[in-house]
Copies of this chain bind each other. A is one copy, B any other.
């Protein structure tokens, strides 16, 4: 019996030009955004983050030197996280005031990168958890709940500070209701409405996969957890509504975080939104690939590439990943 010709796929990609026509969404270097941890240390040394092998807390004065070879290899964007390690200059307090300080490592880091690399897209993560004494992402009421209005006012001010320092993109990761509108409104009033984009961590789940990051950013909450403001992992409806809300409030880019365990949500956003979609390949995902490769389960490079090609296939336009330095090499091979 003859085969069902519809089911013989080979003839459709038997010539290189045919294969180009089959190609869907290739993984390209300009789609990578590298998350970097800029610290207030003054020892001019990179501090490797124990739970995030080969990633570092970088003192401001080493930043340009650290990034330079990556830019040379084609790095086109970074996202800056500030890390406070000392309490002589900037002290964490209840409301995270030090986030606004012009000597904050995030602010200084953004400014240094902007000056050194005029073509590099510089994003700045916006949150309070690295600056509050309690480690929560917002300001608390006396009873220990989130004070919603105070939190989003403060977050907008932080975003403005980074915009003033030169960030092209501000990226609120706090998940407070209404923060996109609050940031957009303040940026607009201050004249940054058309020139600074807001990338919202819009579908950010309460995930187990953030552990190593908190170590990197020294931002773990001192009590309680973040389930009151991050999304429950099982609810597709709430996840999509949260991104839709941020799109309605004026976000320029949306994000799914973590990436891997939520690829279906990435697909949902791709089909429901008209904005570019980012995804954050988080520290726990980095660790899983790293440790399993070390334990001999598979080859690291092959596993990372399969994973990230999946993010593209699912719909990501931008990928935040700690593997960016390696990928800048791997993608050239």
Contacts and interface: CB of A to CB of B under 8 A. Distances in A.
Nearest to A301: B208
A118 to B, nearest CB: 11
Contacts of A318: 21
Total identical chains:
6
A14 B207 contact: no
A21 B292 contact: no
A252 B234 CA distance: 19
Contacts of A22: 235, 237, 276
A74 B264 CA distance: 29
Contact of A312 (B4, B234, B294): B234
Contacts of A253: 12, 21
Contacts of A77: 17
Interface string A254-275: 0000001111111110000011
A210 to B, nearest CB: 8
Interface stretch (A57-65, A86-94, A95-103, A241-249): A241-249
B237 A14 contact: no
Interface stretch (A124-132, A133-141, A192-200): A192-200
A221 interface: no
A312 B313 CA distance: 19
Given A307-B261, A315-B264, A194 B14 contact: yes
Interface in A290-329: 291-292, 294-299, 302-303, 306-307, 309-310, 312-315, 317-318
Interface stretch (A38-46, A104-112, A153-161, A181-189): A181-189
Interface of A: 2-12, 14-18, 20-22, 24-27, 30-31, 51, 76-77, 119, 121, 168-169, 177-178, 180-181, 184-185, 188, 193-198, 207-209, 211-212, 233-238, 240-241, 245, 247-250, 252-253, 260-268, 274-276, 283-284, 287-289, 291-292, 294-299, 302-303, 306-307, 309-310, 312-315, 317-318
